[in-house]
Every structure is written in structure tokens, then in C-alpha cells.
Amino acid sequence: MTDAQEDDRRTREFPRYEVSAYVDYTGSEVLLYHRIQNISLGGICISSPSIEEVGTMVDLVINFPELGTSLATRGEVVWANRQPPMDMGIRYAEMDDTKRETLRQYITRVKK
């Protein structure tokens, strides 16, 4: 891990976890079954061939096969990388207590 990555990890409000999960999202296009690079209680980073502009609101459906459920929410693109690996960071914009608890259960399960 580089010093920059270590600094980033220390300053994050929510720790990020690498997962083997997928998300469907709707922004300027409808894109299904995209790999989640990492997830936290604050947002997700996803790989996609179609990168949205920073500030774009997107609809997300995060699938949790281990829990047998999914979570639908909205998010805002907060950063975008148009060079390989072509990914973007999305901060959750609408996350009620029930959805946050589902997300917390998933993260608890995958971080073990």
C-alpha cells in the first residue's frame, strides 16, 4: 500500500471493502450487472465502460446474493476515471435506516 492510499484510508469516514458483488445502475444509460470494486456505508466504486459526469445522479440496485436481497437507492457520482480501469465513485444520496442496515449486514458478512 502506498503512503497516499494509507492517508486516504485514514481520512475516509467509512472504510471501503473489496467485494465480489454487482450493481445495476441507471444514469445516462441503463447498465446491468457491473462489478463493484469496493463498497462502504457511504458509497461504492464501480467499473463501467460508460462513465457518468461528476455530479450526475444515478439510480442503483445493489444485489446481495449472500443475503438473498437487493437494495435500491440513488447516488451522486463524486469522481470519475475515464482511463483504464474506467471506474467511478458514487456517494449514496438516499439511504434510509432499513437500507443502511441491509448494507451494514452485508459489509459485516464480507469483511470477515
Task: Report the CATH number that the domain containing residue 27 is assigned in CATH.
Answer: 2.40.10.220
In a domain, 3, yes or no: no
Query: How many domains would you assign to the chain?
Result: 1
What is the predicted pLDDT for the residue at 73?
95
Q: Please determine, for residue 5, whether its predicted confidence score (pLDDT) is greater than 60.
A: no
Cα dist from 59 to 24, 27, 65, 87, 94, whole Å? 8, 7, 19, 16, 10
In a domain, 1, yes or no: no
More confident site: 54 or 4: 54
In a domain, 20, yes or no: yes
What is the predicted pLDDT for the residue at 12?
61
In a domain, 54, yes or no: yes
pLDDT of 76-107, one tens digit each?
Answer: 999 999 999 899 999 999 899 999 998 998 88
Give the residue numbers spanning the domain of 62.
Answer: 16-110
Mean pLDDT across the chain = 85
pTM score, whole prediction: 0.83
